[in-house]
């Protein structure tokens, strides 16, 4: 009799033990001590590029520009930009075969094109099914309007990462298929600077 009661109780115990709440590991998104920008990954990316275009400039941001960009940048990208800022630039005269572009330190490092964009449109993140994602690559369509009405359009990819409750720019993958466009990623450019 005791055996039958025990056998009947085992499924009940298993069912009740399955009802406990356990926080999944993917919910642990770390923390962030720096200020951040409100919004989802696509909203923050759009705000970053709007701010970048408004601010102008090219190459690696100087100290004051970098401080202004800090709320948009991941801790790792911010540290890589600070490190690159303190290192000497590539001497083009000593390396004449260096390709013009983001790697030269004078062009726009946040997009494939040396001249940078005059407008940017970030694709929506609403098609990404995993709302608990820690990193999301988003396509960005750039346009550079030239003085005489001509324009160039290209796409790059921005990698957004979640730090605490903030979405931040962590890297840029250069994807433009244009002459003299940079290739690789922003992090690779900074490492090879």
In the block, tokens 């359009």 appear at 153
Taking 80 as the threshold, does the pLDDT of residue 8 lie above it?
no
Taking 80 as the threshold, does the pLDDT of residue 78 lie above it?
yes
Give the per-residue pLDDT at 4: 67
Does the pTM surpass 0.75? The reply is no
Whichever domain contains 118, its CATH number is 3.10.450
Would 1 be classed as within a structural domain? no
Q: How many domains in the chain?
A: 1
Mean pLDDT, rounded, of the chain: 78
Q: What range does the domain containing 78 cover?
A: 33-124+134-192
For residues 72-94, average pLDDT: 77
| 12-43 pLDDT per residue, tens | 565 555 554 444 434 445 677 888 899 999 99
| 102-160 pLDDT per residue, tens | 444 578 899 988 889 999 999 987 666 555 678 889 999 999 998 777 888 999 999 99
Contact 155, 176 (CB under 8 A): yes
Taking 50 as the threshold, does the pLDDT of residue 95 lie above it?
no
In this prediction, residue 88 has a pLDDT band, given cuts at 50, 70 and 90, of low
């Amino acid at each position: 009799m005791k055996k039958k009661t025990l056998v009947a109780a085992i499924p009940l115990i298993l069912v009740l033990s399955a009802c406990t709440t356990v926080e999944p590991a993917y919910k642990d998104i770390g923390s962030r001590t720096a200020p951040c920008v409100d919004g989802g990954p696509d909203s923050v990316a759009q705000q970053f590029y709007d701010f970048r275009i408004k601010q102008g400039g090219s190459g690696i941001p100087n100290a004051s520009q970098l401080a202004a960009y800090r709320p948009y940048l991941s801790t790792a990208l911010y540290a890589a930009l600070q490190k690159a800022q303190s290192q000497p630039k590539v001497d083009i005269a000593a390396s004449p075969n260096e390709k013009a572009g983001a790697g030269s330190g004078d062009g726009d490092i946040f997009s494939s094109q040396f001249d940078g964009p005059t407008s940017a449109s970030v694709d929506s993140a609403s098609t990404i099914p995993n709302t608990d994602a820690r990193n999301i690559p988003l396509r960005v369509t750039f346009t550079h309007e030239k003085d005489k009405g001509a324009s160039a359009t290209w796409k790059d990819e921005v990698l957004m990462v979640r730090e605490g409750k903030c979405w931040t720019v962590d890297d840029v993958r250069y994807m433009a298929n244009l002459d003299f466009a940079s290739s690789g990623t922003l992090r690779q450019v900074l490492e090879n600077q």
